[in-house]
Amino acid sequence: MTQCKGFRTFKERGEWVELQFMARAVRKGFRVSKPWGDSSAYDVGIESGTRILRVQVKSTDCRTQYGYLCQFKPNARSKPYTLKEIDFFAAYVIPEDVWYLIPAAVLLRGKQKKAVTILPENPRHPERYKCEDYREAWRLLLPTKSKSTSLRSTRDVELSDGQQVPSFGRR
């Protein structure tokens, strides 16, 4: 477990990271909302056309030999996240000031991924880092043009250059 550098508790750090996410999203031109209390599975709402995208915000400063380990599980007292509750995960690599905007389906469909290693630099073996296409992928929060291209209805996520980003092992 990493230290809670500069914060008394991990909850306090989590609140700070949520504020960082909301500030960055507003700077990127998004409108944000915050659900009242701690009862929702998501931390922040992002207006995307006529929808509100539900975003669960995570953070890491846990550097390993391979990159930063980021966990995508709720606390021990909570039920696992589901696609009915969350549309995106926003993972913040604190020491690098880098955001990853990962569609929830990438981590929750099939066998749920509770943690991934992310590396916000050019890795020697990029094939090992499945989430690098989601680094600073704010474009994924933009409204889709039709229902047929919505993130919920596609098997793979389409990037702005037309490429498909496959999920982890989903077929």
pLDDT on residue 34: 95
Q: What domains does the chain contain, in order, with CATH numbers? A: 10-165 (3.40.1350.10)
Residue 87 C-alpha from the chain's centroid: 9
Q: Which residue stretches of the chain are H helix?
A: 10-27, 104-108
Tell me: the pLDDT tens digits for 116-151?
888 877 666 656 677 888 999 999 999 987 544 444
pTM of the complete model beyond 0.85: no
Residue 159 has pLDDT above 50, yes or no: no
CA separation, residue 76 to residues 41, 69, 79, 80, 103 (Å): 14, 18, 8, 9, 23
Confidence of residue 7 (pLDDT cuts 50, 70, 90): confident
Inform me whether the pLDDT recorded for 36 exceeds 50: yes
d(CA 158, CA 133): 11
166 Cβ contact list (under 8 Å, min separation 6):
156
pLDDT per residue over 51-85, tens digit each?
999 999 999 998 988 889 999 988 777 788 999 99
pLDDT at 125: 63
